[in-house]
Structure 1
Amino acid sequence: MPIPEFADHGALPPFISGHATSPSARSPYPATMLEVVERFCTSLDRAKLLKGLNLYRKHLHSGGFVSGTQWVDGSFIENVEANRKRSPRDIDVVTLFSRPLKYQVDPDTWATDFESHIFGAYFDTRNMKLAYRCDTYGVDLDAGPRALVRNSTYWFGLFSDMRGSAEKKGILEIPLAADPMEFLAIDQAIGGKFDV
């Protein structure tokens, strides 16, 4: 299914044709990183943000985060140029990740390592925004069902509300890169549109 067109309020619709409870017709909308580039790389500012997102995804991959998905949201996937007369300033990203293989084999060190360095190196939005122009958050898919439900519903609820409005909006869901060759392909796709 292609990424839906903007609704009248300038954002992706929370659901498309049919009934809002049909899984195939509601947000989050599955997409590939290439589809996101094809749809949203429409200006130099957007190209720079997509380059940052691609670098962030490469950074996660280098840390062993190769299984999971990312919810992409914020003004980046809105028609913000028409609605607010400005370019998007960043990309909001929630990474729903399975822990790297090292922690699948030896889960006892995860909590300590996450607090001491993994959070700061991969998910602390202050650090990641400076480096990649992405507001980053993480949901640990291996944390157990209660934490998973609480964290994913929080982020989905927050991301599906349109800022400054009572309107609901859709979000995108892209898989984490399993093949490291993806990063070069995405750089080339962005570079084919704008010189960044």
Structure 2
Amino acid sequence: MSGTAIIPDWNVFGILPPIRPGSTAIARERSPYRATPLDLCRRFGHTPDRRRILQGLIALRAELAAAGLANGFQWINGSFAEDCESSRGRSPGDVDVVSFVPLGDATRQRQLIASHRVLFYPQEAKARFQVDHYVIATDVAFDAEQARSVAYWYSLWSHRREDQRWKGFVEMSLSDDDVDAVGWLARQDHDPPTGGTSDEH
């Protein structure tokens, strides 16, 4: 991927392309685009509203780590991953996130929900972090039911609801260090970025 942005630019419809431009139809260079927290911030943190959402996402990742759920990955999507400022005339209100993590047995899951309730109730996560958050267990048998669960999220998120256009989204590892992203966000108050592209600032 030398010389290629980690997360592509929006296409003419204001959404991430489902396949990296220039790739063949069967190439692996497609959504979800793997990125670090810093990549995500540089790509989408071009307004104060978006940076507040990114700060909330990083805070949610810290809550996941505190719960012992740092061994997994996240899919990042929603209007946050679109050029909704141009297409909808407004800033995104939140970011949609699904965290794929091992949850343990039923007893462990009950303990997690009791001690980290905000992670498992999307409305509470949205109110606290500006993250519409869902959790999928990965330490279960990959049977037909689990396959349907993963396919559900991919199918739901790979198409825009209002016009059914095929679109891309982003993947981040939960084991990635957020320190560089936190520092980048802090610096923007002094040297704000100028546009929503993949360029480094």
TM-score by length of 1: 0.86
Alignment of 1:10-89 (within 5 A): 10-16=14-20, 17-23=22-28, 25-89=29-93
Query: Structure 1 residue 192 and structure 2 residue 190: aligned?
Result: no
Partners of 1:177 and 1:155 in 2: CA distance:
22
**1:34/1:174 Cα in 2 relative to 1: closer, same or farther (>3 Å)?**
same
What is the identity, as a one-letter code, of the residue corresponding to 1:14?
A: P
Q: Counterpart of 1:98?
A: 102
Partners of 2:114 and 2:65 in 1: CA distance:
16
Determine which structure has the larger helix proportion and give its number: 1
Shift of residue 109 of structure 1? 2.3
For structure 2, the residue ranges without an aligned partner over 5 or more in a row are: 191-201
Shift of residue 44 of structure 1? 0.5
Alignment of 1:145-156 (within 5 A): 145-146=142-143, 147-156=145-154
Partners of 1:64 and 1:94 in 2: CA distance:
17
For structure 1, the residue ranges without an aligned partner over 5 or more in a row are: none
CA displacement, residues 26-51 of structure 1 (integer Å, 9 cap, x when unaligned):
11010000000011110000010000
Does the Cα contact within 8 Å between 2:67 and 2:116 map onto a contact in 1? no
Does the Cα contact within 8 Å between 2:76 and 2:97 map onto a contact in 1? yes
- In the comparison of the two structures, how many residue pairs are matched? 184
Partners of 2:137 and 2:122 in 1: CA distance:
16
Partners of 1:159 and 1:15 in 2: CA distance:
14
RMSD across aligned C-alpha pairs, in angstroms?
A: 1.9
**1:184/1:31 Cα in 2 relative to 1: closer, same or farther (>3 Å)?**
closer
Residue of structure 2 aligned with 1:117, choices 102, 114, 118: 114
- Secondary structure of the corresponding residue to residue 138 of structure 1: strand
TM-score by length of 2: 0.84
Q: Runs ≥4 in structure 1, deviation > 4 angstroms?
A: none
Shift of residue 108 of structure 1? 5.8
Q: Counterpart of 2:199?
A: none
Identity of aligned residues (%): 31
